[in-house]
Amino acid sequence: MARFTDRSAIVTGAAQGIGEVYARALAAEGAKVVVADLNIERGEEVAKQITADGGTAAFCRVDVADPESAAALAEFTVAQFGGIDHLVNNAAIYGEMKLDLLLTVPWDYYKKFMGVNLDGALNVTRAVWQQMAAGGGGSIVNQSSTAAWVYSGFYGLAKVGINGLTQQLAVELGGSKIRVNAIAPGPIDTEATLNVTPGSIVKDMVSRLPIKRMGTPQDLVGACLYLLSDDASWVTGHILNVDGGQIIR
């Protein structure tokens, strides 16, 4: 399939993990991909490998918590590929996340965390939407989590915010022919998850899943590409669980 031929797509947090898999999958279906990340070395490697594999990609450093950096990302994408058609707001503080309670987490850390994990998605969306609209519309996928529906401290709170942001932006941007949806993964087998979550807790989570295994980044690709593509042309404001049945609503 080549659902994204001649279209550009920004994937934030694409230097590794789930974001890297999204970027590679979009390129494999014809998209011109901007690999956006703070990690210059790894981000450039991902973009070079996509190009070596026959795709089209360029790296751009971005700090999603900084509106000026987000604006520069949009400008880079337009200069590189002529416009902006798709955005995946995947960047987050996760793999090196501090574990603490909402009641006790240091305020400076909490604000930094929310600046990336919640405000970052809004910053980048604000930076790109006018270019999307000028090109006739587009689509955005935000990375949520099933943590939004279970106790997960400030991480869960950020994902509750992502869900609300998705729904509110879907309304605000619908008139510009821009769709906004989110994916809510369950426990995913990544280096970041293993760094954050103790093995005993992971084992317990998996034992409670109807499909008794951890997910993989590849399990999320189909949902992401569907929501970005014209196949989902009448889908917006939706949070799609990809979670092995963890959350039943």
Tell me the DSSP string of the chain: --TTTT-EEEEETTTSHHHHHHHHHHHHTT-EEEEEES-HHHHHHHHHHHHHTT-EEEEEE--TT-HHHHHHHHHHHHHHHSS--EEEE---S-TTPPP--TTTS-HHHHHHHHHHHTHHHHHHHHHHHHHHHHTT-EEEEEE--GGGGS--HHHHHHHHHHHHHHHHHHHHHHTTTEEEEEEEE-SB-SHHHHHHS-HHHHHHHHHHSSS-S-B-HHHHHHHHHHHHSGGGTT--S-EEEESTT----
Query: Which CATH number is correct for 8-241, 3.40.50.720, 1.10.510.10, 3.40.50.2300, 3.90.960.10?
Result: 3.40.50.720
- The structural domains of the chain, with segments of one domain joined by +, span 8-241
What is the pLDDT averaged over residues 176-202? 83
Candidate from 141-145, 184-188, 230-234 with smallest mean pLDDT: 184-188
Return the active site residues. Answer: 155
Q: Say what the pTM is.
A: 0.95
Judge whether residue 199 has pLDDT over 80: no
pLDDT band at residue 192, thresholds of 50, 70 and 90? low
For the chain, give the mean pLDDT.
Answer: 95
